[in-house]
Amino acid sequence: KDVQKEREPHVYLSKEEVKEKIQSYNSSVTDKLKMTLNANGIYTGFIKVQMELCRPITVQSSQSQGRCAHSNNETAFYLPAGCVNTLHISSTNTVREVIEALLKKFFVADNPAKFALYKRCHKEDQVYTCKLSDREHPLYLRLVAGPRTEMLSFVLREHETGEVMWEAFSIPELQNFLRILDKEENDQLQILKNRYAAYRGKLEEALRGLLKPG
């Protein structure tokens, strides 16, 4: 179930405590995605993020990188369900930076403000999904929870429509949203038309059978 609750307090660990936790973490890793502690106390590692996007994303071709956004080289499409991406980040990276890095990695042109990062964890035989604050640090959460994704995993979702700050988007972005909504509406309308046309055909065929003489 999804819950909206106060975020858990960030416990500031000493360098020695971080070192011990990283050693424990690395000894439990089974996929070779270990963490590394640097001399300055910052540590790096990997997180996996499951993409649970219901709406289409706008992807910019590699040739159009650096050009004006929302060019003719952009394509809107749905990501396949269950898509999981791995990111190499540091302990200083925030949730907002992780979202931006994910979108940049896959040339997603949509505004990062459209998306939110969630943590999914098991507690008392139940699965909880909680939206993370933009200022939280995913690698710290990964370190504290350990490497087992069934204990803690990360999920990228769109903000609920009512949560989106539409005034933060540019006019081309808003126009692109409208184009996507128009396409979705037309697609759904065509599906309904096809369905009722099939029903009509079956009814007419049944009527012709009943009206045949003899």
Cβ neighbours for 147, distance < 8 A, ≥ 6 positions apart: 25, 28, 29, 30, 31, 33
Mean pLDDT of 57-65: 64
* Average pLDDT across the chain, whole number: 81
The yes-or-no verdict on residue 184 having pLDDT over 60 is: yes
The per-residue pLDDT for 11 is: 66
The per-residue pLDDT for 54 is: 80
Q: What pTM, to 2 d.p., does this model score?
A: 0.66
The range of the structural domain enclosing residue 192 comes to: 169-210
The SS3 call for residue 181 is helix
Q: Is the same domain home to 32 and 91?
A: yes
Mean pLDDT of 54-63: 71
**Strands (DSSP E) along the chain, which ranges?**
2-3, 36-37, 43-51, 57-60, 74-77, 83-90, 115-123, 126-131, 152-158
Q: Is the same domain home to 149 and 90?
A: yes
Confidence of residue 15 (pLDDT cuts 50, 70, 90): confident
Least confident stretch, 66-80, 81-95, 131-145, 148-162: 66-80
Residue 7 lies in a domain: no
Q: Is the same domain home to 21 and 56?
A: yes
The per-residue pLDDT for 18 is: 93
